[in-house]
Structure 1
């Protein structure tokens, strides 16, 4: 009797995006040149080859999610133009596209730092009439949500310093940032916060985070009622 093939589940788009962003981050971190084999910027053919080898991603999965990462500003495309002169003297234009992580993409993984551009750069906060405060991780929120904002910073730091897989850290930190972005508004979008909170709650399985998760969940519960 022939054995039936067991279909393996494919990673979700969000999981693929985390894998890809981490790939570009690691490449930039270990780069010894701007482009090329050890460069921070890499050709799409090499991206597909390396991510297939390391994570089994298909060309379609990589291409579609690369488009998303570029549109969100996490990755950028760098086009190098050149020309080739044919034997008959005809000049043939040619271009090669390279891809690399942006500063925003690095901050997505590392968290905001000393050189991170303020989220509301160019906006006159005082003209809104809101009391905006800056948290320890660089995020700015409405002062009325300061307790929740501070608790999120503590949870974010605990996650970043934990031994959890890097892809899990990225997912959790991304949703914490989503919640903090909503806290900059006088009236946050409760549906967005509730959805992001469900992911954040999974951090309770990380050593040292259960108390912080419970505190954050409780404060969010009060905000959503």
Structure 2
């Protein structure tokens, strides 16, 4: 236990007096209505005669995120930023309806995990006790869907319970660092497009807005 505490103390001391900042974030994630479009289409081929299904999706819901970022001083007002964030979106209902009869074939319950691994830049407008900045990044994003369903008798339709896509996207936003002496309090808002590159046919943009509250250890800001 003493060794663990000593390591934490030494690591915190190193980060505090280096050009490296390490931060931890949490906050709200507000999605557009495509985040829960599991099959990237409004129709689904159920692989049985006369079984083409229309997908009726419940509206998406606000989720949350947690994550970690590193910041490295590149010049007076420019910092490299890299990190990983886990966005969790609540369960929503997706009904698969027979295109011809209108009968509900299957009712799905789907949740989404959107995990961007990002690298980008922070550009500080000014540096003081309160330091505003603009931010932008590129991200490799894992979009993982977990699906539960109640199978309607006699349909014989099987649904994959886990669907995962990998896409490339970007984020743009702005934030504030507030100097609390020992740590920096961080507030950031960012608009994210998770699937700009790598989309399949008919796939729409899956966007979400994050509002984050974080704390940084280290000295990511050089105050004038």
- Place the TM-score, normalised by the shorter chain, in its bin: under 0.3
By relative contact order (CA 8 Å, sep 6+), the higher-ranking structure is: 2
Counting strand residues as a fraction of each chain, which structure ranks higher?
A: 2
TM-score, with normalisation over the residues of structure 2?
0.20
Q: TM-score, normalised by structure 1?
A: 0.20
Indicate the structure with greater helix content: 1
